[in-house]
Structure 1
Amino acid sequence: MTQDGKFDNAGSIATNVADGFTMVAVGDLMMRRPIIKNQRSGFGDVAEILQRADATFGNLETNIFDVRAFKGSPQVNGDSYHVGPPELGPDLKTMGFNLLSLANNHTFDWGLEGMRETGRVLDQTGIIHAGMGENLAQAVAARYLDTARGRVALVSFAATFTPMSRACDPAGEAPGRPGLAALRLKNSITAPPEMLESLRRISNALPNSPSREDEDRVVLAGATFKIGDKVGYSFEANPRDIHEILRNVRQGKQFADFLIVSNHGHEPGEWSQEPPDYEQSLARKLIDAGADAYVGHGPHQLRGIEIYKGRPIFYSLGNFVFDNLQTVEGADYFAEYGKDPRIDTVADLLVEANKGWAIAEFYESIVTVSRFEGNQLAELKLIPVELGYSERLANRGVPRLAPWPDAEAILERLQRLSKPFGTHITIENGVGIIRVTSSSQR
């Protein structure tokens, strides 16, 4: 931000960092064990990249506590309970992380106790985290990191979350509810006019059919269908949630030199390499409000990159650590896949659960390095990493620099996904480069 607090020429609150400021952003961290000392994995070369940055950000999808002494209990049915030991806190710090988002669909795996204990471990470690709190005001508030080249703010929220995990503010005599900052989405299915008319005839033939006529919308069996050019999924963001998030972005930037916004969402599904229809508009609004970078994650694979007004929008950075060999799995998760915890092991369960789901692309990602000069994004490096998809379970999920030609394949896929956003990525010596021109700053 400029010293007088005015907007820059692009209509956004200006970036105000010293020359050479670098931000490293990566995707989801699903961890059950420390990894920094595992030299066999090749992670050391990746950690050096993280450690050199002024601000290093990731999304933590793991609760941190000693499960043997934990007084709470799992709160999610039919899913894995992500948890790692207290040593994860210092491990993440040594890896180079100084900013983490805690707003995601695993925030409440272990209920309020697990959420609070995770925050306590990170506080003790000195890692700034955002996205959860004792009420909505705390959960959506910006958190701050002071660096040698400027003060960095982080605002985090989740579009994919368990209903019980959403924080709310006090109202009258009702106290606030602890949880995460949520972006509620209203889902619908788009269909061409002729298909919508067929659905309307079915709806009208059912008992208790809605009496209100709407030419562009049909509600059938609890699902909303609306007119569109093709069959697909559509999402409308809750206006009140948007207002709350935008306000905190604007306020966060007023007290910082650089602001990162984090959104965890799986929409429209983990099968999709394209972002949901609401997200581009939202990301641009957030940058207009003062964000210097938008980082999306959740669908477990890479999506495209856009440069908007000279600021990066990452629609998904995929998985950074995907160590999903969890030591704690619920009995209902075993039952869902026809396994018996008295006979079958966790590994047996995961082999069955991951069939047709944990594809090779889930184990391929990038480390993004954004460098700023003259308070403008000058260069964005995209460093391919792979997480050992072909390794045995004990060694799978830890990032290492992708060898050629794997690196080239990852970057070529990212080129294809980013092209619709007008982003040009060159490949030089196994690294993707986005050079920001004066035209992309406008």
Structure 2
Amino acid sequence: MRAQAEPQLTLAATGDSLITRPLRPYKEEQFLTLRELLHNVDVAFTNLEMIFHTYNEGYPAAESGGTYMAADPSLAEDLCWLGFNLYAAANNHSMDWAEGGLRSTMAVLQRLGMAYAGIGTNLAEARAPVYLETAQGRVAMLSMTSTFPSWARAGEQRPDAKGRPGVNPLRFETQYILPPRQLQALKEISKAIGHEAMKAQRRAIGFAAPEDNEVFHFLGHQFVEGKKPGVRTVPHQRDLEGNLRWIADARRQADWVLVSLHAHESQPESKEIPAEFIQTFAHACIDAGADAFLGHGPHLLRGIEIYRQRPIFYSLGNFIFQNETVRRLPMDIYETYKLGMEATPADVYDARTLDQKGKLKGFPADFRYWESVVALCHFEGRKLSHLELHPITLGFGNPRPRRGRPQKAEGTLARKIIKRLADLSAPYHTTIEFKKGIGVVKIA
């Protein structure tokens, strides 16, 4: 790194990359423009929402993140070719093929020298930051997920017991708020169906069953009294403290620190508004020393907040979205759509995306999942000095074999994408202007 009073760094941040098809054959100018952008920054980041394996390394888990993800290991090289050099790996698909799929993915990434974080053979490995050496200094990145099957959570190692492979978790607690009359009615229902008796039995034989003091526990959920009905969420205290401790460690070991969170959770009124605990955690990460918070997970854009002169991206949406061309799927997902042994993968994708009249539904029917941005951040002295938002399209309306690969969005579409992101960011007092085909964030 050259000697200077104010160290500088350029970061290109993208959202979810679900790659199942090669990228290198394509030569469109709008596609290669993105590749050039990724190659001309110090750090190019994406969420690796894919498992690299050949279907022989493990077995499908009883529960997946949705689609059972699988990609040929050679496709990892396509991501390198595109320009990425930093990968978040903790997400709801990390354990779709259980421990075998996880270990295969780690082996592929390690063989290719791809810097990743968020997964490991135990919690210490999964929670640890990864370090990327750049010409502008050392960059740390930590990856965690709040969306995952409970059994996918990495476990701590003890002197007398092995740790558990899995993801670095950020659990959270949800409390449902009810007015006094409605809460009392719920307590009466709990008693009437025998749930209170079952709770008493568990306590009597020594199993964990929380006492109902300020919080009333019903069928695995927490209810509290309040004036108006509502929902509130808070980070799980132990996961919060554990992740913040490693952010503080990385702050002392690197020139820049990035935090990645994969989170589907939202406010009840809209998937585009993050759950309360996500903002709480994002602020805590910046306070602990992070220079940028890179959110993703819901597959669509959420707003941008500038907090203490550092960017918080609540969701960068999709970057590569090829979840309809996984070549093999386990029987579990066929059964989900009431398909038999004779069905093929295309039958699953049809059942998931076509209604009874043959009209598109789900992801392919909603443009928000196919329009996103690449965030280009310029840092000077650890503070954000300039932030550009390069709009991209993943081919909304294209046939299945052609949608899901990013290209630069232009003209009216580019303006529409930036306008939508500006509207989502306004509640955070973030101003975004459309200039020369891209969004420019006003930095105070």
- Scaled by the length of structure 1, the TM-score of the pair is 0.89
Partner of 2:153: 166
Partner of 1:52: 40
Q: Where does the alignment leave 5 or more consecutive residues of structure 1 unmatched?
A: 4-15, 438-442
> SS state of the match for residue 372, structure 2?
strand
Partner of 2:246: 248
1:290 deviation in Å? 0.8
Task: Go from structure 1 to structure 2 and tell me whether the alpha carbon gap of 1:229 and 1:48 turns closer, same or farther (over 3 Å shift).
Answer: farther
Partner of 1:90: 77
Provide the alpha-carbon RMSD of the alignment. 2.3
Report the number of matched residues. Answer: 419
Partner of 1:195: 182
Q: Distance in 1 between matches of 2:169 and 2:151?
A: 11
- Higher mean Cα deviation, 187-196 or 314-323? 187-196
Q: Where does the alignment leave 5 or more consecutive residues of structure 2 unmatched?
A: 201-210, 355-360
Q: Distance in 1 between matches of 2:227 and 2:89?
A: 37
- Higher mean Cα deviation, 72-81 or 83-92? 72-81
- Scaled by the length of structure 2, the TM-score of the pair is 0.88
**Alignment check: 8 A CA contact 2:430 2:442 kept:** no
**Alignment check: 8 A CA contact 1:425 1:434 kept:** yes
Q: Distance in 1 between matches of 2:443 and 2:10?
A: 15
> SS state of the match for residue 63, structure 1?
coil
Task: Go from structure 1 to structure 2 and tell me whether the alpha carbon gap of 1:194 and 1:425 turns closer, same or farther (over 3 Å shift).
Answer: farther
Partner of 1:393: 400
After superposition, the C-alpha distances for 1:299-354 in whole angstroms (9 at most, x for unaligned) are: 11111100011100001111111001211212121121122341x33223112213
Task: Go from structure 1 to structure 2 and tell me whether the alpha carbon gap of 1:291 and 1:213 turns closer, same or farther (over 3 Å shift).
Answer: closer
Q: Distance in 1 between matches of 2:32 and 2:180?
A: 55
After superposition, the C-alpha distances for 1:42-101 in whole angstroms (9 at most, x for unaligned) are: 42121111111101111111111333xx23221243642211112122211111111001
One of 362, 376, 383 as aligned partner of 1:357:
362
After superposition, the C-alpha distances for 1:405-441 in whole angstroms (9 at most, x for unaligned) are: 222222111111111111111111231111312xxxx
> SS state of the match for residue 319, structure 2?
strand
- The answer to whether the aligner puts 1:381 opposite 2:381 as a matched pair is no
**Alignment check: 8 A CA contact 1:63 1:82 kept:** yes
**Alignment check: 8 A CA contact 1:80 1:328 kept:** no
1:305 partner letter? I
Q: Distance in 2 between matches of 1:104 and 1:261?
A: 14
- Higher mean Cα deviation, 280-289 or 36-45? 36-45
1:40 deviation in Å? 4.8
- The answer to whether the aligner puts 1:413 opposite 2:420 as a matched pair is yes
Partner of 1:124: 111
Q: Distance in 1 between matches of 2:243 and 2:250?
A: 10
Matches within 5 A, 1:37-436: 37-40=25-28, 42-67=30-55, 70-77=56-63, 79-209=66-196, 214=213, 217-228=215-226, 230-268=228-266, 272-325=271-324, 326-342=326-342, 344-354=343-353, 356-358=361-363, 359-436=366-443
1:197 deviation in Å? 4.0
> SS state of the match for residue 327, structure 2?
coil
> SS state of the match for residue 251, structure 2?
helix
**Alignment check: 8 A CA contact 2:156 2:164 kept:** yes
- Higher mean Cα deviation, 56-65 or 162-171? 162-171
Partner of 1:22: 10
Q: Distance in 1 between matches of 2:155 and 2:243?
A: 13
Overall identity of the aligned pairs, in % = 37
Task: Go from structure 1 to structure 2 and tell me whether the alpha carbon gap of 1:418 and 1:229 turns closer, same or farther (over 3 Å shift).
Answer: farther
1:340 partner letter? G
